[in-house]
Amino acid sequence: MIRYLFNRLLQGVIVLIVLFTLTFFLVKALPGGPFQTEKAIPEHAKARMEAYYGLDKPMPVQFVKRATNLLKGDPGVSFRLEGREVSEIISQAFPVSLQLGLVAITIAIGIGIPLGVIAAWKKNTILDYSAMALAMIGICLPSFVIGPILADRFGQKWEVLPAMGWATLNPLFWILPAITLGLVSAAYLSRLTRAGMLDTLNQDFVRTARAKGVSQKDILIRHCLRGGLSPAVAYIGPAFAGIISGSLVIESVFALPGLGTHFIKAIETGDEPVLTGIVLLFGILIILANFATDLLAFWLNPRLRS
Amino acid sequence: MIRLFQLLALCLAISACQKETLVEKANREGIFLMGNGAEPKSLDHQMVTGVPESKIVGALFEGLVGDHPSDDAATPPGAAESWTHNEDMTEWVFKLQPNGRWSDGAPVTAHDFVFSYHRMLSPALAAPYVEMLYFIDQAEEFNKEEITDFEKVGVKALDDLTLQIKLKEPVPFLPSLTRHYTWFPVPRHVIIQHGEMSDRFTDWSEFPNLVGNGPFKLAVWRFHDLIEVERNPYYWDAKNVHLNGIRFLPIENPYTETRAFRAGQLHTTYRLPTDLIRDMLENEPEQLRQEPYVGTVFIRFNTTRPALSDPRVRQALSMTINRSDYCEYIAEGYTPATSLTPQMGEYSAEPMLEFNPEKARQLLAEAGYPDGEGFPRYSILISRPAARAGAEALQAMWRQHLNILVDIQNKDWGSYIGAQQSLDYDMAAAGWIGDYLDPTTFLNMWTEGNGNNNTAWHNERYEQLLDEAAVQSEPARRFDLMRQAETILMKEQPIAPISWYARNYLLRPEVKGWYPLLLDNHPWKSVRLESSASPSISTE
């Protein structure tokens, strides 16, 4: 177990180093650069700005400097929101993305798992078909279609929920973006749960339990749920990280102050410090989520422990 | 499923029926809610170049001369109560408001203005918009380190409340120019608390350190969420400020912004997508504003390309643009351009642009491409999906009238700008917004070596006329010289102007003291909310 943990940690560090190096050189390869504006900046001023940020140095020198600063715990200063620390930007935006992600994954679990269980339980009935059809729609309809439709209906037409914006303490602002974001994961979860549950329901021990006269409810919840949820659980971890890092479209549709907006703007403006900061954060999140998923799988499936 | 949605909607409606919309609440509180397009790069106005920044800076700071709510040409007092100039308009003296105060209560003095211009011109600060101050005598030399003694630059505090500005040439529009944020003061006493004068981006311009001399002061700043300003009790004209605060929301997606407006979350939008104009005209025309804006849409030609180096070819391409069709179907609300510079004040350029396909074909034949034969296959460079419709219209017009084929090349913003600056393009869909109300803001850029020219075109006579105009202090003669220069530009056509800008946006009827303005700088102190005028915004 310890050896396994150590291996995972080492892999994580290697992944982060590769991520940083790739992101750094890719963003530098983008055309444009951080000080390219519509109205031309005088050459001498531009040269000064580049010198100020060390952008006039050769690429390897810049890379070593950035890497050293990062190791010292200094993620740098944004080029786009000039003068603002990357840590300040992330510490404002990450809680929004995290909160939105938590609400969205809760919605996804709350809808997806019961739907999957019901579909498996009532296999090949109208309930099963409707649940799976719904899931298919959820998978196929992209969030940039669902988001504007929800905002248009609930926000603009019926005026019952805010059409955009974010308020940390007002749940009314969370509902539409979280539903939009959670629906796709809910759809996947319901299909995975159905498959996992069906697999378990066909096992011998279920037949034995039935023969012993155990009630249907007990079979489902006490005997099958733990095993049947394995595929779904394996999905939840990465899905949660994906929800947090993949809310770019939702943030634009609902004008949310999360990481996605900074991410896109950083790419558009060649804002390397912010971009690498966010990429590394996403990297850490995904590594942690996978790790948590592994631990959960250990707990759910005793055979893995050996 | 639909039932479920309806049920959910009903529940929410019941829970929300007692609730007022955000706009209604803001009306009650005297807070103005504004869609502001994008997150500002900074609120240090000496370090920015954008329009979203200018709206917020206009609430936090004030220049020497104020903005009039409805008259572009008027020059009401701002941080200065009065001003005089010498006969040839090269030397100006501004008398500051005796009770001018920063938002921390410190007096606004002429020394603050001298400090501000010193800071902006300091080479180490590398202010991106520094050229706006080059009108001042020796300013350019100081900024380019040709002189190092700031004493020689033409700004001086004669006493605490008297500022003298010496210019390198007559600038009759100086009062209008000082309304641009590059001319606004910065608080010396705060800046030196947070670093050296020419340090880039110290935290003086962040909340809660920022101190301004405008009608409002900074109250909240959350990235990509909102910037809120509240009344500045020390403002010299505080009794005439109507609003209690303004919330600037950096909504980048124009469709999201429009939805927010219609859902009662905004008093005004930053823009309105063209494809929603008709819908607004049909359903809520009283909220739609279509106003002239001092800017021009044009096609930029790379005159180093063999065919495009011939003025006859450029003229032929320009003559086959049907500008009235373009404005009717593509750029709604815009006006067909008859020259580069839109009408501003006393200046109007000769109407030179015409739609004449027959003459165009003749010109193209003279240039060696009869019926478009042998004409190279060039492309139009664009950077936004919204520009595609316009480029396609040009594609069709040139094919129909000149029998030539052009492609459309879409690049991301950085590559689009970079391609033009390095002359790595054929033709580019472009535009220019004036910084101040004088034709020089449109004409000076087409000179040799200007960073915004990007056509490789230059003309000695054109530059000579502009130079002559620059030293001319008699306004009519000055404009006449500029008109002659513009005529040369429009004969040579390194650019083909298509339309003059309009601003399409939404504004709620309870907003008062807000009138059409060419530069779109609505003085915040004049804006007020009349909540009784609030109608239902439901469209059904």
Average pLDDT estimate for B45-51 = 92
**Closest CA in chain A for residue B123:** A45
Contact across the interface for A52 and B126, Cβ inside 8 Å? yes
Residue A76 belongs to some domain of the structure = no
C-beta neighbour count of B64 within 10 angstroms: 27
- pLDDT on residue B8: 53
- Does pLDDT of B246 surpass 90? yes
Contact across the interface for A32 and B417, Cβ inside 8 Å? yes
Residue A236 belongs to some domain of the structure = yes
Number of domains in chain A: 1
- pLDDT on residue A230: 86
Residue A37 belongs to some domain of the structure = no
C-beta neighbour count of B21 within 10 angstroms: 16
- pLDDT on residue B13: 54
**Percent residues over pLDDT 70 in chain B:** 95
| CA distances for B93 relative to B162, B188, B306, angstroms | 7, 21, 52
Contact across the interface for A81 and B203, Cβ inside 8 Å? no
Residue A261 belongs to some domain of the structure = yes
> By mean pLDDT, which of A291-300, B202-211, B349-358 is the weakest?
A291-300
Which residues on chain B are in Cβ contact (under 8 Å) with A162? Answer: 22, 263, 265
Which residues on chain A are in Cβ contact (under 8 Å) with B203? Answer: 83
Average pLDDT estimate for B311-322 = 97
Q: How far is A11 from chain B (nearest CA, A)?
A: 34
Distance of CA A68 to the CA centre of its chain: 28
| CA distances for B172 relative to A87, B89, B97, B166, B404, angstroms | 48, 6, 22, 13, 46
User: Among candidates B314, B300, B318, B315, which has minimal Cα distance to B450?
Assistant: B300
Of B130, B225, B413, the CB nearest to A166: B225
Question: What is the DSSP code (8-state) at residue B184?
Answer: S
Residue A68 belongs to some domain of the structure = no
Residue A88 belongs to some domain of the structure = no
Average pLDDT estimate for A109-116 = 93
Which tokens in the block code for residue B326?
């373009």
Q: What are the pLDDT digits (tens) for A115-145?
A: 999 999 888 999 999 999 988 888 888 888 9
Average pLDDT estimate for B55-64 = 97
Q: Please, which pLDDT band fits residue B533 given cuts at 50, 70 and 90?
A: very low
- Does pLDDT of B535 surpass 70? no
Q: What are the pLDDT digits (tens) for A158-178?
A: 889 999 999 989 999 999 999
* Mean pLDDT rounded to a whole number for chain B: 92
Contact across the interface for A43 and B13, Cβ inside 8 Å? no
Rounded distance, CA B496 to CA B336, Å? 12
CA triple A291-A294-A299, angle to 5 deg? 130
- pLDDT on residue B420: 93
Chain A contact probe: residue of B51, B225, B261 with most A CBs at under 10 A: B225
- Does pLDDT of B150 surpass 80? yes
- pLDDT on residue B536: 38
- pLDDT on residue B189: 97
Rounded distance, CA B132 to CA B81, Å? 23
Residue for token pair 């914006």: A165
Q: How far is B376 from chain A (nearest CA, A)?
A: 27
Rounded distance, CA B375 to CA A83, Å? 50
Residue A149 belongs to some domain of the structure = yes
- Predicted-assembly ipTM surpassing the 0.85 threshold: yes
Average pLDDT estimate for B260-285 = 93
Q: What are the pLDDT digits (tens) for B73-82?
A: 899 999 999 9
Whether B427 contacts B381, CB under 8 Å? yes
C-beta neighbour count of B375 within 10 angstroms: 21
Its pTM stands at 0.91
- Does pLDDT of B539 surpass 50? no
Residue B344: strand pairing partners: B347
- Does pLDDT of B334 surpass 60? yes
Of B16, B222, B417, the CB nearest to A160: B16
- pLDDT on residue A285: 87
Question: What is the DSSP code (8-state) at residue B223?
Answer: T
Contact across the interface for A159 and B21, Cβ inside 8 Å? yes
- pLDDT on residue A303: 77
Which residues on chain A are in Cβ contact (under 8 Å) with B263? Answer: 155-156, 159, 162-164
Contact across the interface for A31 and B414, Cβ inside 8 Å? yes
Whether A76 contacts A63, CB under 8 Å? no
Average pLDDT estimate for A179-204 = 92
Q: Please, which pLDDT band fits residue B2 given cuts at 50, 70 and 90?
A: very low
Average pLDDT estimate for B467-492 = 94
- pLDDT on residue B532: 53
Q: Please, which pLDDT band fits residue A299 given cuts at 50, 70 and 90?
A: confident
- Count A/B contacts: CB-CB distance under 8 Å: 167
- pLDDT on residue B537: 38
- The residue range of the domain holding A233 is 94-305
Q: What is the CATH number of the domain that holds A175?
A: 1.10.3720.10
Of B16, B201, B262, the CB nearest to A156: B262
Average pLDDT estimate for A170-194 = 93
Of A81, A134, A163, the CB nearest to B41: A81
Which residues on chain B are in Cβ contact (under 8 Å) with A253? Answer: 253, 256
Residue A77 belongs to some domain of the structure = no
- pLDDT on residue B7: 52
Contact across the interface for B224 and A261, Cβ inside 8 Å? yes
Beta-carbon-side half-sphere exposure of residue B433 (alpha carbons within 13 Å): 15
Rounded distance, CA B295 to CA B502, Å? 8
